[in-house]
Structures are given as structure tokens and as C-alpha cells.
Structure 1
């Protein structure tokens, strides 16, 4: 198991390094106008040249990349070029909002999708058809469209939720619940639709196995067979789907934060990319990549614990 973890950690480190280097390379060619944007249209060529030198934009790519890695490895991602706020402080203020939405949604998706998918696999008939129809409809609707429908219904027509996020430093749980409920529902509807189908297929596959049919012929209780044998064997497939859902949600929440005016990492990433704030963009890329790598590592560990064949593979 230790060798299994070391291999996963090494592959995660390689992915992190590759993503950060590629992002820095792409951003390197989009910072030509940053100095003039910061100084304004009235800036002279000498002022722009001085600002470029101050930001290090006049230095070679490899030198700037090495400097960024030297700071990143010590936890120093620099400061915003536009407001001098440190990248760590900016992410610390906004990351909890994004993670709260995604984490609660993914846990709810795991519970609801498992229940619906298992019911559809075991109770073939109306329940199965209802789950499949609902999953097809939910899967066809993108999360941002669901978000717009929720805003139209529960913010405009029925003002049950605030139109603008009320989350602020030191705010209690009330503003968090009021601001994050609708985005979580938007992610939940789309995520359950995709995951329920996968769980249904995995449960059906396990129920057709010879050892499961043998257990049924011996008269063991259906619930015991389902929980101890079928769901345990089907869990790796479900966990893999959930990890993919988590990664997809990190992308979807960027748009949802614009729809619901949430002060999250997605909003920060959009604004920083628009103005070419390289330190902030690189901080967002590094942090989100670390989160994805950690989630995938946890899923691999869980799959290895549930299925020893995964560790051998």
C-alpha cells in the first residue's frame, strides 16, 4: 500500500508541475499590455518600460518561471499586480466559498445518486423508468441553465433568496445558507442525473456476477447481499464518477459564481484573467490543481482499500 501511495503522489506532483508550467507559458505571451493597463492610457513609453521592469516582464521566460517556482515552493505566490493584495490572502478569502458549494453538493450527489441508482437496479419497472427519465432530463440541462431558472423562480418571482451574495467576513451561518443554497441545488440536479445512471449500471453488473447469484440461491437476506457484496464491489466505479464530477464542478462553479454573484475563486479567476493579473491567475491554477490531485489521490486510496486488485494494477 505504501508503494501504491508513493506512485500516486509522484504522478500527482508531475501533473501539478506540468499544469503550472503550461499555464505560465500561456500567460507569458499575454502580458504585453499589462503595464499600460495598470498605468492608464496617459502613461508614457518610459513609464511603461519602468513598470515592465518592476514587474519583471522584461526578463526571459525561464528566469521568470524559476523565480515563480522558488516562491511557490515556499508558499509565496506573490501579490496582485493591480491592488497589491497577496495571492494567498485573496485565495484564503474566496476558496472557502467555492469549496463549500462543491463539497456539500458532491456529498449530497453521492448519497442521492447511490439511493436512486440502487433503487433503479433492484426495483426494475416504474422506479427504474422514472430514474432513467429523470436522469436523462437532468443530464441534458447544463448547471448554468438550471442556475438561471432557479434565479428566475426563487430570486425574481419568489424573493426567497438574496439577489446578491450576503457572505461577508465574520458573517454567521445564515448568509452562507441563503447565498449557497441555490448554487448547490444547480450542481446537485446535474450531478445526480449523471451519477445515478453510473451507479445503476455498476449495481446491475455486480448483481449479474456468479458469486452474487450463488449468495441469493443460498437464501441470504437481500439487504445483506446488497450492502456487503454488491454495493462494496460497485463502489469503485461510483467513486471514480464522483471524482470526475468534482473536477467538472470546479469548472461549472466558475459560471455559477457569476450567475449568483458569489465571491468565490471562479469570480476571482475570471476577473484576474480578464485584466492579465498573472500572480493571481497562477495562484488559482496552482491551488485548484492541488485540490484536484488530492481528491484523485483520496479516491485512488479508497478504491485500493475497497478492491485490492487496484493496488496491484
Structure 2
């Protein structure tokens, strides 16, 4: 297991290096435009050239990347070109907003997905048909339409929840929960439909296997063999879906935070991308890659703990 973890970590480091290097190379195309923005729209060519040299954009690309990498390894991601704030602390501050959305959304997705998936597989009949209809509706409606509908009903019509804005949990936990409820629901609806479908299919396959029939003949209660045996064996594919949903929710936060005016990671990344803020874009890319690597590694470890065959492989 330790060898496996070491291999995955090495692979993750190589992946992070490749992604950040490619990102740096793509950003280098816009270095002149960034220098022009900082120098001012009416700046002379000499002023723009001086700004380019000041930022270090006139040096060889590989030298620039290695300088950035050496600083990043020590924990210094540089400063924003436009605001001057340190990139690392700025990302951590905004990432806490996004992670509150994603983690709560993933929790809701997990509870709803497993509960409905198990119910559909074990009950069948009308219950299964109703749940399949809910799955279909979750797949059909786009997130933006769901967001508009929830805001109209819960915020504008009923006045139960705020339509926009964010309250930190340290200031007021109740207000924090109210401020993230609609965004979380928007993030969780599609993911819940996907996970429910996966759990339902995996549970149906498990309940048809011979060992389940054997457990039934021995008089073991349906609840016991469903939760202790069938659900555990069916959880592997569901965990993979959850890891993908986590990554998808991080990407979805870019739109959700813009719609609901949340000061999160996605809004920060969007503003940096439109402005061409190179240090911020590289910092956002680095944090995103590291999050994906950690989540995938944790998913594989949990899957190995649940499934001995996966652990042996």
C-alpha cells in the first residue's frame, strides 16, 4: 500500500508540473497584453517595453517558469499583478468559500444518492419508477434553469433565503447556512441524479448475485445483507462517481459563484483570467491540480478499504 501511495504521489507531482508548465506556456502568449494593461492604454512602446522587463516577461520562458516553480516550492506563489495581494493567502481565503459549497453539496449528493439508489434497487415497483423519474428530471434541467427557479421560489416569492451574498460561518452559522442553501441545491441536484443512477444499477447487480441468495436462505435479515454486504460491494463505482462529482462541482462553482455573487475560488479565477493576472492564474491552477490529486488518491484508498479485490489489485 505504501508503494502504491508513493507511486500515486510521484505521478501527481509529475502531473502538476506538466499542467502548470503548459498553463505557463499558454499564458506567455498574452504577456505583452498584460504589460500594456499595467502600463496604461495610452502608454508608449518604450513604456510597455520597460514594463515587460520589470515583470520579467522578456526572459526565456523556461527561466521564468523555473523561477516561479522555485518560489512555489517554498510556499510563495507571488503577488497579484493588479492588486498586489499575496496569491497564496488570497486563494486560501476564497477557497474556503468554495469548499463550503462543494463539501456541503457533496454531502447532500451522497445522502440523497445512496438513499434513493438503495430504495430503488430494494423496493422496485412504483418506488423504483418514481425514483427513475426523479433521476431523469435531474438530468434534463440545466443548472442555470434550476438556479433561476429556486431563487424565484425560495428567495423572491417565499423570502425564506437570500438570493445573493455570502456570510462566513465564523460570523453567523445560521446566516452562513442560509446563504449557501440555494447554491448547494443547484450543485447537488445533477450530482444526486447521477449518483442515484449509479447506486441503483450497482445494487441491482449485487442483489442478483449468488452470495445474496445464500444469505437469504440462512435467514439473515434483508436490512443486514443489504447494508453490510451488497451496499459495501456496490460502493466502489459510486465512490468513483463522487470523486468526479467533486471535480465537477469545483468547475461548477465558477458559474454558481458568479450567479449568486459569492466571493469564492471560482469568482477569483474568473476575474484573474479576464484580467490576465499571471501569478493568480498559475496559483489557481496549482491548487486545482493538487485538489484533484488528493481527492483521487483518497477515493482509491477508500475503495481499497471497502473492496479487498481492489486493494489486492
- TM interval, shorter chain, is over 0.9
Q: Which runs of 4+ in 1 moved over 6 A?
A: none
Q: Aligned residue for 1:207? A: 207
CA distance, structure 2, for counterparts of residue 155 and residue 219 of structure 1: 51
Is the contact made by 1:199 and 1:238 (CA closer than 8 Å) also made in structure 2? Answer: yes
CA distance, structure 2, for counterparts of residue 142 and residue 191 of structure 1: 12
CA distance, structure 2, for counterparts of residue 32 and residue 79 of structure 1: 18
Q: How does 1:157-168 map to 2 (within 5 A)?
A: 157-167=157-167
Q: Aligned residue for 1:3? A: 3
Higher RCO (Cα < 8 Å, 6 or more apart): 1
Shift, 1:281, TM fit:
0.6
1:23-77 Cα distance to aligned partner (Å, 9 max, x none): 1111111222111112221212222111111111111110111111111111111
Q: 1:166 to 1:303 in 2, by over 3 A?
A: closer
Q: Aligned residue for 1:301? A: 301
Q: Aligned residue for 2:183? A: 183
The RMSD of aligned alpha carbons is 1.5
Q: Aligned residue for 2:292? A: 292
CA distance, structure 2, for counterparts of residue 44 and residue 159 of structure 1: 54
Q: Aligned residue for 2:229? A: 229
1:156-181 Cα distance to aligned partner (Å, 9 max, x none): 33333334314369632233223211
Q: Aligned residue for 1:106? A: 106
CA distance, structure 1, for counterparts of residue 144 and residue 225 of structure 2: 40
CA distance, structure 1, for counterparts of residue 296 and residue 161 of structure 2: 34
SS at 1:219's partner residue? coil
| Greater Cα offset, 288-297 or 32-41 | 32-41
TM-score between the two structures when normalised by the length of structure 1: 0.96
CA distance, structure 1, for counterparts of residue 166 and residue 29 of structure 2: 37
Q: How does 1:9-48 map to 2 (within 5 A)?
A: 9-48=9-48
| Greater Cα offset, 176-185 or 154-163 | 154-163
CA distance, structure 2, for counterparts of residue 49 and residue 155 of structure 1: 51
Is the contact made by 1:4 and 1:311 (CA closer than 8 Å) also made in structure 2? Answer: no
The unaligned stretches of length 5 or more in structure 1 are none
CA distance, structure 2, for counterparts of residue 281 and residue 153 of structure 1: 36
Q: What is the number of residues matched between the two proteins?
A: 313
Shift, 1:206, TM fit:
0.9
Q: Confirm whether residue 126 of structure 1 aligns to residue 126 of structure 2.
A: yes
Is the contact made by 2:169 and 2:176 (CA closer than 8 Å) also made in structure 1? Answer: no
The unaligned stretches of length 5 or more in structure 2 are none
Shift, 1:123, TM fit:
0.5
CA distance, structure 2, for counterparts of residue 277 and residue 132 of structure 1: 45
CA distance, structure 2, for counterparts of residue 49 and residue 197 of structure 1: 57
Shift, 1:227, TM fit:
1.1
